[in-house]
Structure 1
């Protein structure tokens, strides 16, 4: 699959991925990409965030590929049972937060955790760092195993966001292109 053949839905995490974040840059660069907007980027709510992902998927006019970062990753997992069968062709999941990290966010919906443990109904690839302050590699590996995701070890990469030096993240874009090619 090529980027031009699908609707790429960018699913940011808490705070919505600012202007220098790789998700925002990819959204600007990829002509078929658009952001899944949340009602409030600072209030993580399981049902609300999952419903927004589901609504964006339902509004798509082509096959969908999800690109989620941080809190957007469990939002995709929560949304998976709500998605129309066969519409989502794959999910590129990056730096999920651990469940303890979610519970530490002021005002976070307690129902956001625990994360679903059912396999995702579409192919997925989970990219995780060994030095993510919000999720241990072992936790990320456990999520990948539960969801049926291929796991990519990003090494010493922090939370794979702007603060960890991953503004443009060209290596991630190359990995994403490889993921698309296999769909």
Structure 2
């Protein structure tokens, strides 16, 4: 069974958080443990994630909040080839997050490159960490399928999200999409007269 790497955000995920329930309910899941959850540094967190991917060989990612930004930061790195797919839940917008948690986060700027793996981006109408307009923008930039779950805040304990069966169903939707994509044969190069570029 393909491992699932669970990526929490700032402060980690407390026992009542849906990610903690995920780890209990899915034996193939592993927490990517960080040494310092209170003062995230992108290079340090990336190093730990890449080590976990190397150990797993291939893995899915289930990320929340700042963990989504960590996952998106894999774009352009060789280790991204080890990611089979990613469920990205309530990503935080770094400018908003830095205003709310001044001086705590060293994550640079928002990643904007298209993700080289399938991804399902889940957000809400009233997340104070990411506006709907920005959520839609990053879904487009990352090439992610977008699911809006309504008035769900930051999709965390404060918004009433402990054990989250809906998240399990979304993950199965993502995996089904990946299985479908895996069955599509690569396109063969066209033969015959060259067509002039339209660019």
Instruction: Return 98-107 or 27-36, whichever deviates more.
Output: 98-107
1:11 is matched with: 7
1:102/1:108 contact within 8 Å kept? no
**Change beyond 3 A, Cα 1:86–1:119:** same
Gaps of 5+ in 1: none
The alpha-carbon deviation at position 175 of structure 1 amounts to: 1.1
The alpha-carbon deviation at position 76 of structure 1 amounts to: 0.9
1:179 aligns with 2:171: no
1:158 aligns with 2:153: yes
- Select the structure of larger CA radius of gyration: 2
Gaps of 5+ in 2: 179-199
2:85/2:117 contact within 8 Å kept? yes
Superposition TM-score, scaled by structure 1 size: 0.91
Superposition TM-score, scaled by structure 2 size: 0.84
Find the partner of 1:37 among 29, 33, 37: 33
1:80/1:120 contact within 8 Å kept? yes
Task: State the secondary structure of the residue aligned to 1:80.
Answer: coil
In structure 2, C-alpha distance between the alignment counterparts of 1:40 and 1:85, rounded to whole Å: 23
In structure 1, C-alpha distance between the alignment counterparts of 2:27 and 2:78, rounded to whole Å: 23
Instruction: Return 79-88 or 5-14, whichever deviates more.
Output: 79-88
**Change beyond 3 A, Cα 1:28–1:141:** same
Number of residues of Structure 1 aligned to a counterpart in Structure 2: 177
In structure 1, C-alpha distance between the alignment counterparts of 2:156 and 2:75, rounded to whole Å: 24
In structure 1, C-alpha distance between the alignment counterparts of 2:152 and 2:59, rounded to whole Å: 28
In structure 2, C-alpha distance between the alignment counterparts of 1:56 and 1:134, rounded to whole Å: 27
2:80/2:117 contact within 8 Å kept? no
1:149 aligns with 2:144: yes
1:27 is matched with: 23
In structure 1, C-alpha distance between the alignment counterparts of 2:133 and 2:78, rounded to whole Å: 28
**Change beyond 3 A, Cα 1:78–1:164:** same
1:47 aligns with 2:53: no
